[in-house]
Structure 1
């Protein structure tokens, strides 16, 4: 099993908050952090995206100095890219609300769809992420859910 926590970023405040949570989770697990951004059109890959990735990487480094951090930028449907990246992760972290290509339309369905199709556990970060507080854990009674 790969010891990597993946976080999806799109530049939204929610995705940057998810970076903070993902960095903490990576440190707690002794894992590295991989910051992932998916783009569907070549025009989407512009200097702003690299700025978003640099900002996310800097946040993680400031919060958890010494944490191994890498970036992945991939062309394709966001869900498809994140699902593929989840194959190599112990945890996927996503903000509860992100932006689509029009910038201001809020999305919540990506994290819901990822939770249904990921190859690792998915953590949705909503509201104000705090390092402590209530945690909701859903299990289905199957042997696969027993470790939860």
Structure 2
């Protein structure tokens, strides 16, 4: 995609780390960076579930917001060559950013709203966007290792293709290795003794081999390693994230009711990973 990287700005000190990560991502992708501040509706005004698309929209230079000015200085320092624009919108942040995500190459937010051991609340902005965003979502969290690999969580054929392509592209842009962590499904028993998990694993193995073979040809500069953890595979994924610079997780498409279908792997990544997490809608 050629759309901008869109990053939510909230004025907090921790948010500057998010802005910095978004600026560097825009630099890698060769696209512009859009700093977006969403202001809630005044008391007694229009309900926050309905965003405004004209009230408060400022474009590049009209906004005098101190938060946006600080964010722009931070972004320029991190990626001097990136074109930066600023916008102020009125509405509920999750709704507004999810609606804007359809035109973005990437939407970036922080993992603020954490509690105990860095876990993420479902009602945080990142938690809401994980179910609503149309395009790829980057949640900045943890302590990434800039020299570490990009991780790809392989957990079902329905979440493989788009996520794998995103992970290969990121590894290539970052000059990093790619580690595909193949998470086995939980054991289920079919009639006549056939293992449902074994049958699903066979399907996944075939899809994984076919997809990775094609992508390795497209990205010959990326060194791919595959890992098949035993036992608690999601725990192994979290542990591997401690020495990685990015974790890529595929999530199933939006439901007809407007919400996403974030599975246990996606929830584990958002709540426990020790590096930024990219959620890719599949």
Which bracket does the TM-score occupy, shorter chain normalised?
0.7 to 0.9
Alpha carbon RMSD of aligned pairs, Å?
2.6
Corresponding residue of 1:101: none
Bigger relative contact order (CA 8 A; separation at least 6): 1
Residue 119 of structure 1: CA displacement? 1.4
**Could you say what secondary structure the match of 1:13 adopts?**
coil
Residues 9 and 131 of structure 1: CA distance in aligned 2, closer, same or farther (over 3 Å): farther
The question of whether the paired residues in 2 share the 8 Å contact of 1:92 and 1:121 is answered with yes
CA deviations on 1:26-66 (whole Å, 9 max, x unpaired) are 000001100111111359x8xxx800000001111111112
Query: Residue 74 of structure 1 aligns to a residue in which SS?
Result: strand
In the alignment, which residue of structure 2 is the partner of 1:121?
136
Shift of 1:130: 5.8
Q: Counterpart in 1 of 2:246? A: none
Distance 2:100 2:75 in 1: 19
What is the CA deviation profile of residues 9-34 of structure 1, one whole-angstrom value per residue up to 9, with x for unaligned ones?
10122321110000000000001100
Number of the residue aligned with 1:145: 163
Corresponding pairs, count: 137
TM-aligned CA deviation for residue 87 of structure 1: 1.2
Rg comparison, structure with higher value: 2
Superposed, which structure 2 residues align to 1:1-148 within 5 Å? Answer: 1-42=1-42, 50-97=65-112, 109-128=124-143, 131-133=146-148, 135-138=150-153, 140-142=156-158, 143-148=161-166
What secondary structure does 2:103 align onto?
coil
Task: Quote the Cα distance in structure 2 between the aligned partners of 1:69 and 1:96.
Answer: 23
Equivalent residues of 1:3, 1:30 under 8 A apart? no
The runs of 5 or more residues in structure 1 that have no matched partner are 99-105
Does the residue aligned with 2:15 lie in a helix, a strand or coil?
helix
List gaps (5 residues or longer) in structure 2.
Answer: 44-55, 57-63, 114-119, 167-282
Q: Scaled by the length of structure 2, what TM-score is found?
A: 0.44
